[in-house]
């Protein structure tokens, strides 16, 4: 089966659904492929308090459902399926989904997001949304005057720890090496903070707690004669070991940076392929916030609309 569309949006979440809202209002009848995780990373977040318009906060799943409903209201077609193959060598672009169906698109908006890297512990999944987080900016507010831990030793981990130190009572940094990989300025800032304690040569092997995280089990000097196991009491466990943009299938055609994030042209959402646009975390290695993703979803839809107007022969 082959279907044609003027705007194909690959991925959901704040960027994809917002792109669907704007493209729908522009009478472009967009098709959104939600992918493996409809609603994106926010569906794994409990309460969101920093998105404008929700003064009392909102559950991540509820907010994404409202975005989705709004996209449907303005004419977007939403498929709970995944694009598995793309051909951006010529227009119309040809994409294939996980059922083998083909879709030909005059424009494509990529909003596949990025996935936080985890340690791979079973306890991370057990306590996800109950003390385990990959975003201090999103969830740090819930741990005011409490003890938390940040896993990682790079600039991102230092930034997360510094941010949390303004809210939490104490911040442990769990670093598997005997040094921080961060820049000198970040090292100095972390070391100067009285409520940040750096635990070098440590690996997390488990988390524990009744109704949420209450502590972490660590191993110091793992697999050496000096190995010892000990616990720390914490309420929040923050992963800061990086993100992995979900861009693998686009690699043959779309220009990516060294980390795999999509490169866009200047302040636009244009990629190196004319007619293909990128929005949200898959093109944002820096901010990774829902409000930013929604904004780029809006811009991508407007860029796609302008492209279609300027290339009317494609319609």
Active-site residue list: 135, 138-139
Write down the pLDDT at residue 116: 84
CB–CB of 106/315 below 8 Å? yes
Query: Which of helix, strand or coil describes residue 59?
Result: strand
**Cα–Cα distance between 260 and 254 in angstroms, integer?**
10
Q: Which of 28-37, 102-111, 275-284, 294-303 has the lowest mean pLDDT?
A: 28-37
pLDDT, residue 314, reads: 47
Alpha helices in the chain (DSSP H): 13-25, 60-73, 122-126, 136-139, 155-165, 184-192, 290-310
Quote the pLDDT of residue 315.
47
* Percent share of the chain, pLDDT over 70: 98
| Structure-token match 């995944």, residue found | 82
* C-alpha distances out from residue 230 to 164, 207, 222, Å: 23, 12, 12
Q: Look-up: residue for tokens 């941010």?
A: 163
């Amino acid at each position: 089966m082959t279907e044609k569309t003027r705007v194909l949006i690959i991925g959901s979440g704040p960027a994809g659904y917002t792109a669907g809202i704007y493209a729908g209002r522009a009478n472009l009848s967009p098709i959104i492929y939600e992918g493996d995780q409809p609603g994106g990373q926010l569906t794994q977040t409990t309460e969101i308090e920093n998105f404008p318009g929700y003064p009392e906060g909102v559950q991540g799943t509820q907010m994404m459902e409202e975005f989705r409903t709004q996209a449907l209201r303005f004419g977007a077609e939403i498929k709970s399926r995944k694009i598995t193959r793309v051909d951006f060598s010529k227009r119309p672009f040809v994409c294939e989904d996980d059922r083998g169906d083909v879709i030909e698109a005059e424009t494509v908006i990529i909003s596949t997001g990025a996935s936080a890297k985890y340690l791979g512990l079973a306890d991370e999944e057990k306590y996800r949304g109950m003390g385990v987080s990959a975003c201090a900016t999103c969830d740090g507010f819930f741990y005011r005057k409490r003890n938390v831990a940040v896993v990682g030793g790079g600039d991102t981990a230092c930034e997360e720890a510094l941010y949390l130190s303004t809210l939490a009572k104490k911040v442990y940094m769990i670093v598997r090496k005997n040094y921080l990989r961060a820049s000198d300025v970040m090292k100095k800032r972390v070391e100067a903070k009285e409520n940040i304690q750096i635990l070098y040569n440590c690996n997390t092997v488990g988390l524990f707690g009744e109704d949420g995280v209450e502590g972490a089990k660590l191993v110091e000097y793992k697999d050496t004669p000096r190995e010892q196991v000990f616990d720390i009491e914490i309420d929040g466990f923050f992963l800061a070991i990086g993100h992995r943009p979900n861009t693998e299938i686009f690699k043959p055609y779309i220009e990516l940076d060294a980390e795999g994030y999509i490169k866009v042209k200047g302040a636009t959402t244009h990629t190196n392929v004319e007619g293909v646009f990128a929005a949200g975390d898959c093109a944002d290695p820096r901010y990774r916030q829902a409000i930013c993703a929604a904004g780029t979803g809006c811009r991508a839809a407007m860029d796609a609309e302008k492209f279609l107007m300027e290339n009317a022969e494609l319609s």
